Structure 1
């Protein structure tokens, strides 16, 4: 599936800066040490992507949701900002070079952006579990990308 969500024209202020990088690093270490956990009220994992420009591995803590098929769903919400988070573009450039830290282990996964009815079904599952994402969607005019992470064998 293609990663094709363009930036919007309106939305909340996108979190960024030194403080955010420090917090993400701190949370990624905490999640890694505990083998998972909660981050901002969500079940959390550490997303490991390869930088699309740098080629350097990047780590980001993100909330995830269990899909009925056993895969994991994440949302590139950026808290309702008009732009997609940087990790979204890293996934788009290297969908087969993604790993996650969860349950005390590192798992190789493939990233797929969901579209159409498949996205709608996943979105309903996500917003039922966490209404906060519905609030993020209202803040921006871009459709928040829903990404499925499928374990590679």
Structure 2
């Protein structure tokens, strides 16, 4: 039976490319579908998550600080394979329950960016489980057309950059571990996306539309410029004594250049892709 709280969130998430209002507004959110440990039926819930590089994301079984682990956690123990919806992509993932020092380290990262996780832990005697979800099989963006897919992916990058800049505004002088990871995960995602365009989309378009050569050349040059900014941001973030004052200007430089690039690419390619 659908949960009265979750179901409207699920419907809004799917209708708006992962964007929702209300309680989850501004949060990094996924939909997780597990297989019921007893029923064998699919069970979908909206969950906040922590970025953890391009390979995986992290979720926490807080259950609002309640005395029992959430149903989705028990489902994953019985069947670790699950479906993840990000609003852009839907993919199959393998769940791994983190234990010991790794679990404690990740949970400390979560509390560092949102003390609510720590408050939930104080409300219960159980140890809140931390679970890693690693993609094992995926597909194209959840869009009705190639142009819509491009816009959906671009908007996800815009939204993530907006969240990161908000986190910088709310952080102190020191650069927290999770904020570092958020920056690095963004950099990895952008590199993967641009590599895919350089090796697949752009050659495809250049082959079929020779008149696009100047546009493709410009987009390729912009990718190279953005790659330099990504490398510079990654280097600064990875420095031992990095602080927000040294990293934020690199985030702003990347944001400015990327937004200009995305706007141009959409204006040039979406009409062609959907024409």
What is the TM-score of this pair, normalised by structure 2?
Answer: 0.46
Which residue of the partner structure matches residue 106 of structure 1? Answer: 90
Pairing 1:25–2:7 present: yes
Contact 1:111 1:150 in 2 (8 A): yes
Which residue of the partner structure matches residue 63 of structure 1? Answer: 48
3-state SS, counterpart of residue 5 of structure 2: helix
For structure 2, list consecutive stretches of 5 or more residues without a partner in the other structure. Answer: 138-275
For structure 1, list consecutive stretches of 5 or more residues without a partner in the other structure. Answer: 1-17
Query: Which of residues 52, 75, 89 is equivalent to 2:37?
Result: 52
Query: Which of residues 46, 68, 72 is equivalent to 1:87?
Result: 72
1:39-76: per-residue Cα shift (whole Å, max 9, x none)? 26531110000111111111100101101464111001
More strand per residue: 1
Q: In structure 2, what is the Cα distance between the partners aligned to 1:29 and 1:63? A: 16
Runs of 4+ in structure 1 over 6 Å off: none
3-state SS, counterpart of residue 29 of structure 2: strand
Q: In structure 2, what is the Cα distance between the partners aligned to 1:66 and 1:37? A: 17
Q: In structure 1, what is the Cα distance between the partners aligned to 2:16 and 2:99? A: 33
Q: Classify 1:73/1:80 alpha carbon distance in 2 versus 1 (closer, same or farther; 3 Å).
A: same
Q: Which has the larger radius of gyration?
A: 2
Q: Classify 1:101/1:69 alpha carbon distance in 2 versus 1 (closer, same or farther; 3 Å).
A: closer
Q: In structure 2, what is the Cα distance between the partners aligned to 1:136 and 1:37? A: 25
More contact order relative to length (CA 8 Å, sep ≥ 6): 1
What is the TM-score of this pair, normalised by structure 1?
Answer: 0.81
More helix per residue: 2
Contact 1:34 1:104 in 2 (8 A): no
1:73-99: per-residue Cα shift (whole Å, max 9, x none)? 100110111101111111111102x01
Pairing 1:78–2:78 present: no
In angstroms, what is the RMSD of aligned CA positions? 1.8
Contact 2:13 2:87 in 1 (8 A): no
Q: How does 1:5-44 map to 2 (within 5 A)?
A: 21-37=3-19, 39=24, 42-44=27-29
Paired residues in the alignment total 134
1:99-145: per-residue Cα shift (whole Å, max 9, x none)? 11113221110011101111122112111121100000001111000
Q: In structure 1, what is the Cα distance between the partners aligned to 2:46 and 2:99? A: 24
